[in-house]
């Protein structure tokens, strides 16, 4: 199944060549092999019986005049996106065994499109991490090189695609948690414009940054996956009333007249020569396709990491206050109500989540709010203005490395600050709310590396046009 795209699988179902149940069985069999052979630890919840029931429901739509966009296609969902028939633990002990009473809008749309969810994927606890080492249920391993991390926080979703278990999976992005693992695992990862995909049913980490994103084995898989879930949702106050274009119609288009910016801040002298070479090869491909490459500047980029690690923990400290042992999840007894709170949250949250809650509470506290949080929000506006100025100045898209380096070994970044720097090229797009995606552009030392396209707000179609063209131009070189 790993050699078949989502579009090919759907066509087989629509034409009657394959039954959705057989495809889902193949997907679960591949997941079993991944666990048994390489101990990849990709899924936190998986129920073949539930999947087959949904596959049977999808099979009843095979004769419809307009079959669903993902009819019979198996997909995987990050474990912080609410589902009705599988647990939603967010990779945390504090929500162990929790089953949501409602499902995310994205999940509802996937079911309506005929997709079949095969399981919930492993993740850094409450999406706080860049390696999936922070999961309370053990780390996920990178299918490309099991001694390395798959990235995070959506490492399980990236690994599910890289291992050939599903052609499409879904994760969440707060500061790069789809694009970075996509780069590490050699797959495509898309973060849409803030508001393009409903956040209803996505367990909140930092509400002004969080988004649902999509992984695909190919650019076309990612385009199909985004189309299936994008669009306005009345249940999400931040959902945008923008029409959703046909992303797949962008395939095969010319790049003649397209201006692609090369931000100097993303290509410092310290960038590894091999990474620079892979990016320059991509720029050469863009030029050969008729695009113009122009040097540009995003001057506030250097402040992105400190700004992000003030704003995101501040919002997390507020959002995670609801996990107190009163209404749902873990409850441990203590000395009175306060003791119960302390016991539950102390045992329920892991070290990284605790660190960020404490940091966020500090920067929001009396006497420090203006010095830290307010100042960070002001600089965030400057970062967004940098992107706006570049795009209004005649540049259509930006292209950068997705990460400074390929996947690292387990335990290699024990210092939290070193781990935070893994997101140095991705957090800016979240802070500005613009769409961005990562796709394979080669390998370094046998490990995949990704190139990042960034577009103006709601410029996903133009972003996909460039991604399709680059994928076609690089061919097999994108994976070696």
CA 396 from centre of chain? 23
Burial of 256 (0-12, 13-18, 19+ CB in 10 A): exposed
Peptide bond into 153 cis (omega under 30): yes
Phi, psi of 185 (to 5 degrees): -100, 0
Q: Is 153 a catalytic residue?
A: yes
Q: Is 61 a catalytic residue?
A: no
Instruction: Identify the active-site residue in 131, 177, 198, 317.
Output: 177
Distance CA 363, CA 382 (A): 20
- Would you state the structure tokens that stand for residue 154, as one six-digit string? 């959506």
Rounded distance, CA 123 to CA 130, Å?
9
CA-nearest of 242, 239, 221 to 157 is 221
Please answer whether residues 403 and 274 qualify as being in contact, where contact means their C-beta atoms are separated by less than 8 angstroms: no
- CA–CA distance from 220 to each of 45, 153, 213, 227, 379 (Å)? 27, 23, 15, 11, 36
**Up-side HSE of residue 342: CA atoms within 13 Å toward CB?**
6
How far from 366 is each of 320, 374, 377, CA to CA, in Å?
20, 12, 17
| Residue among 51, 131, 153, 422 flagged as catalytic | 153
| 172 given a catalytic annotation | no
Report the C-alpha gap between 291 and 466 in whole angstroms: 9
Two tokens at 177? 């948690």
Residue with tokens 């960038």, as numbered in its chain:
271
State whether residue 440 is helix, strand or coil: strand
> What percent of the residues of the chain are helix, what percent strand, and what percent coil, each to the nearest 5?
45, 15, 40
- Determine which one of 61, 78, 120, 191 is catalytic: 78
The angle, 0 to 180 degrees and rounded to 10, between the axes of the packed helices 48-59 and 20-38 is: 160
Cα–Cα–Cα angle for 6, 9, 12, nearest 5°?
A: 150
Cα 344–chain centre separation? 29
Q: Where are the beta strands (DSSP E) in 250-393?
A: 259-263, 292-296
- Give me the active site residues, please: 78, 153, 177
């Amino acid at each position: 199944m790993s050699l078949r795209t989502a579009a090919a699988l759907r066509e087989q179902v629509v034409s009657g060549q394959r039954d959705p149940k057989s495809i889902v069985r193949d997907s679960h069999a591949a997941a079993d092999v991944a666990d048994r052979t390489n101990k990849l630890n990709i899924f936190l919840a998986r129920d073949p019986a539930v999947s087959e029931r949904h596959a049977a429901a999808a099979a009843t739509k095979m004769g419809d005049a307009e079959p669903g966009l993902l009819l019979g296609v198996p997909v995987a969902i990050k474990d912080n996106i609410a589902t009705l028939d599988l647990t939603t633990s967010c990779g945390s002990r504090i929500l162990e065994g929790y089953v949501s009473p409602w499902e995310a809008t994205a999940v509802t749309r996937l079911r309506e499109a005929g997709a079949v969810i095969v399981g919930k994927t492993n993740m850094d606890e409450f999406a706080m991490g860049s390696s999936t080492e922070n999961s309370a249920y053990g780390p996920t391993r990178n299918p490309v090189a099991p001694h390395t991390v798959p990235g995070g926080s959506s490492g399980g979703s990236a690994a599910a695609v890289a291992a050939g278990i599903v052609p499409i999976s879904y994760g969440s992005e707060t500061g790069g948690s789809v694009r970075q693992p996509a780069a590490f695992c050699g797959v495509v990862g898309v973060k849409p414009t803030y508001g393009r995909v409903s956040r209803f049913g996505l367990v909140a980490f930092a509400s002004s940054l969080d988004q649902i994103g999509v992984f695909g084995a190919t650019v076309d898989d990612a385009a199909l996956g985004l189309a299936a879930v994008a669009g306005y949702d009345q249940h999400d106050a931040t959902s945008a009333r923008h029409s959703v274009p046909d992303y797949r119609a962008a395939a095969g288009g010319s790049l003649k007249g397209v201006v692609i910016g090369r931000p100097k801040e993303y290509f410092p002298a310290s960038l590894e020569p091999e990474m620079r070479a892979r990016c320059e090869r991509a720029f050469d491909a863009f030029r050969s396709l008729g695009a113009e490459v122009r040097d540009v500047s995003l001057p506030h980029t250097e402040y992105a990491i400190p700004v992000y690690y003030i704003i995101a923990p501040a919002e997390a400290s507020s959002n995670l206050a609801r996990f107190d042992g009163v209404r749902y999840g873990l409850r441990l007894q203590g000395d009175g109500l306060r003791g119960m709170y302390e016991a539950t949250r102390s045992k329920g949250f892991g070290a990284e989540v605790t660190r960020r809650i404490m940091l966020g509470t500090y920067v929001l506290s009396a006497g420090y709010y203006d010095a830290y949080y307010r100042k960070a929000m002001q600089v965030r506006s400057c970062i967004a203005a940098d992107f706006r100025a570049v795009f209004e100045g005649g540049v259509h898209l930006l292209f950068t490395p997705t990460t400074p380096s390929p996947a690292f070994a387990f335990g290699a970044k024990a210092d939290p600050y070193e781990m935070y720097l893994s997101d140095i090229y991705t957090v800016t797009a979240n802070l500005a709310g613009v769409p961005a995606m990562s796709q394979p552009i080669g390998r370094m030392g046998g490990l995949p590396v990704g190139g990042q396209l960034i577009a103006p707000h709601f410029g996903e179609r133009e972003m996909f046009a460039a991604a399709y063209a680059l994928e076609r131009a690089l061919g097999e070189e994108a994976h070696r």
